[in-house]
């Protein structure tokens, strides 16, 4: 006997046992012939019979088709009340317990992972996406509620409280958070860094953008207790000392003091007088 579900008077569903019909259970040859008609030469051993409904049973046969290892032919036969003749209702090939089957279908929206979206791809957002709410509803934030009509101007929906909570948890637990490798060995946190630019709204209490081009997270969101070695106050850059005077190799030269201005003038006058003497005409002897 096996069980079947039947509705009761108050619409509750209960499980009741169904008696295996003896006439249907004996009709193995009828069931095999029906299966052979569908797949000649591919019907194997009789594997068993189950009761489906009163006077309705299903016979199972192994398949000999090498493409369907572990599958079974299911042949359902039935008879009318007080009749000894069974007729075939259905013949179908079904996967057995050991059949090789494709994995359960997973919708693309559940298969999608961060980073899967490529250039030119479109990712539609569901109308009831819990991460988004109509712009006029985003009033849980005190800063935003004071300018509720301006917030979301030009945007139909904005991130909901749940959506922001989810992203804050994701960011905090990931690379921008305090547990990333670069943050754990950082000399100080982003909260005290001059390159830390706090976000607007409620998230500013926990997150900001890094504006240090030499930091590994430049241009990315970081948590206030994230950090890196490029912290603005991590190292005081020492002032370079003045350069020493140049060294002159004097080994192959004599050092000569240059003439003074007066000495240069006297030398110039002496040279001019000597030139005049040599150009004067000679007198009578």
Q: Are 94 and 63 in contact (CB under 8 A)?
A: no
Q: DSSP per residue over 78-115, as a string? A: EE-TT---EEEEEEEEEE-TT---PPPP--HHHH--TT
The span of 65-73, 122-130, 207-215, 265-273 binding ligand SF4 (CB under 6 A) equals 207-215
Task: Name which of 151 and 190 has its Cβ closer to ligand SF4.
Answer: 190
Give one word for 169, left, alpha or beta, with left for phi > 0 and alpha for psi -120 to 50.
Answer: alpha
Binding of residue 210 to ligand SF4 (CB under 6 A): yes
CB of residue 120 vs ligand SF4: minimum separation in angstroms? 31
* Contact track, ligand SF4, 181-200, x by CB under 6 A: ---------x--x-xx----
Q: Are 180 and 174 in contact (CB under 8 A)?
A: yes
CB of residue 221 vs ligand SF4: minimum separation in angstroms? 10
CB of residue 193 vs ligand SF4: minimum separation in angstroms? 3
Look-up of token digits 């489906």: 52
CB of residue 198 vs ligand SF4: minimum separation in angstroms? 10
CB of residue 136 vs ligand SF4: minimum separation in angstroms? 34
Q: Are 47 and 62 in contact (CB under 8 A)?
A: yes
CB of residue 215 vs ligand SF4: minimum separation in angstroms? 4
CA distance 188 to 65: 68
Query: What are the φ and ψ backbone dihedral angles of 279, each rounded to 5 degrees?
Result: -100, -5
SS3 annotation, 222-274: EECCCCCCCCCCCCCCCCCCCCCCCCCCCCCCCCCCCCCHHHHHHHHHHHHHH
Task: Name which of 35 and 230 has its Cβ closer to ligand SF4.
Answer: 230
Task: Name which of 95 and 187 has its Cβ closer to ligand SF4.
Answer: 187
Residues 219-258 that bind ligand SF4 (CB under 6 A): 222, 226-228, 230-231
Residue 176 neighbours by CB distance under 10 Å: 21
Q: How many residues bind ligand SF4 (CB under 6 A)?
A: 14
Among 72, 76, 138, 212, binds ligand SF4 (CB under 6 A): 212
CB of residue 217 vs ligand SF4: minimum separation in angstroms? 5
Residue ranges that bind ligand SF4, judged by CB under 6 A: 190, 193, 195-196, 210, 212, 215, 217, 222, 226-228, 230-231
């Amino acid at each position: 006997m096996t069980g079947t579900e039947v509705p009761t008077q108050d619409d509750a569903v209960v499980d009741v046992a169904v008696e295996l019909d003896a006439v249907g259970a004996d009709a193995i040859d009828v069931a095999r012939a029906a299966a052979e008609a569908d797949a000649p030469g591919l019907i194997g051993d009789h594997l068993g019979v189950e009761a489906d409904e009163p006077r309705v049973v299903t016979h199972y046969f192994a398949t000999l088709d090498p493409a369907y290892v572990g599958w079974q032919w299911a042949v359902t036969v039935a008879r009318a009340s007080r009749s000894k003749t069974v007729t075939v209702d259905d013949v179908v090939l079904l996967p057995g317990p050991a059949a090789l089957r494709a994995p359960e279908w997973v919708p693309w929206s559940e298969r999608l992972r961060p980073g899967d979206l490529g250039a030119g791809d479109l990712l539609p957002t569901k109308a009831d996406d819990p991460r988004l709410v109509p712009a006029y509803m985003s009033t849980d934030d005190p800063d935003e509620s004071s300018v509720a009509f301006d917030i979301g101007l030009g945007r139909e929906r904005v991130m909901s409280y749940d959506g922001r909570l989810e992203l804050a948890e994701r960011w905090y637990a990931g690379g921008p958070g305090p547990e990333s490798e670069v943050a754990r060995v950082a000399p100080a946190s982003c909260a005290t860094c001059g390159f830390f630019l706090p976000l607007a709204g409620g998230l500013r209490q926990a997150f900001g953008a890094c504006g240090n081009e030499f930091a590994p997270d430049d241009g990315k969101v970081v948590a206030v207790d994230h950090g890196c070695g490029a912290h603005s106050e991590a190292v005081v850059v020492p002032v370079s000392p003045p350069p020493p005077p140049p060294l002159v190799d004097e080994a192959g030269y004599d050092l000569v003091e240059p003439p003074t201005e007066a000495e240069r003038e006297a030398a110039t006058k002496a040279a001019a007088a000597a030139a005049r003497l040599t150009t004067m005409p000679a007198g009578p002897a």
